[in-house]
Copies of this chain bind each other. A is one copy, B any other.
């Protein structure tokens, strides 16, 4: 088992995963009735928020809008990043900020604003509140690198 990474290293590794181009996140959401939904989605990260784009009619959109939150997973059992995030805004292609549309098109592997059925999609801007980062059991301690939307002091 490798030595446990420092908090600073884990934050750097989490940022690197969030900055990856053409990557995807597993996005879990729950209905008000307590039914779990899960899909892999392309995403974009601007350093503060993660944006996903889904059809407005999808269970993911309906659940996240109703609950105001989602849980995103990246990696594998031996190299995990988990992000609990709050919905900070939602917008159709017509209403989304130009920076959100451009940022998404630049990092994700598709551009929903260019689709014929673009009016069916919604940009969901999610702000991480808690981020957990771990590999093996020796990294379970200290796995929370963001709390209350603030990176844990890594000094």
Contact of A38 with B41 at beta-carbon distance under 8 Å, contacts A26-B26, A28-B28, A73-B26 already known: no
- A36 and B29: CB pair below 8 A? yes
User: How many copies altogether?
Assistant: 2
For A73, list chain B residues within 8 Å (CB): 26, 38-40
Closest B residue to A63 by CB, please name it. B36
- Size bracket of the A interface: 20 to 34
Within the complex, the shortest CB–CB distance from A98 to chain B, in Å, comes to: 25
Task: Answer whether A39 and B82 are a contact pair too, CB < 8 Å, given A30-B30, A30-B31, A34-B67.
Answer: yes
Tell me whether A36 and B67 are in contact in the complex, defined as CB-CB below 8 angstroms, given that A30-B31, A77-B24 are known contacts. yes
Determine whether A37 belongs to the interface, using a CB cutoff of 8 Å to chain B.
Answer: yes
Name the B residues within 8 Å of A28 (CB-CB): 26, 28, 36-38, 71
Chain A interfacial positions (CB closer than 8 Å to B): 24, 26, 28-42, 63, 66-67, 69-73, 75-77, 80, 82, 109
